[in-house]
Amino acid sequence: MNTKFLIAGIAGFLVSLVGGFLVHAVLLHPDYAQLPILMHTKADAQGHLPFLLVSRLIEGIAFTWIYSRGIAAGVSWIMQGIRFGIAAVCLVTIPVYLVYYSVEPMPGMLVAKQIVFDSIGMIVMAIVVAFIYKSSAEAT
- The CA-atom distances, in angstroms, between 31 and each of 38, 45, 48, 120, 122 are 11, 17, 20, 19, 21
pLDDT for the residue numbered 135: 67
Average of per-residue pLDDT across 113-123: 98
120-135 burial by CB neighbour count: b if 16+ within 10 A, else e? ebbbbbbbbbbebbbe
117 pLDDT higher than 50 = yes
Whether the pTM exceeds 0.75: the reply is yes
Average of per-residue pLDDT across 55-79: 93
- The CA-atom distances, in angstroms, between 41 and each of 20, 26, 37, 126 are 18, 16, 9, 32
18 pLDDT higher than 90 = yes
Q: Give the residue from 66, 65, 58, 53 showing the smallest Cα distance to 20.
A: 53
Stronger pLDDT, 41 or 49, i.e. the higher one: 49
Q: Give the residue from 133, 87, 128, 94 showing the smallest Cα distance to 114.
A: 94
137 pLDDT higher than 80 = no
Mean pLDDT, the chain, whole residue set? 92
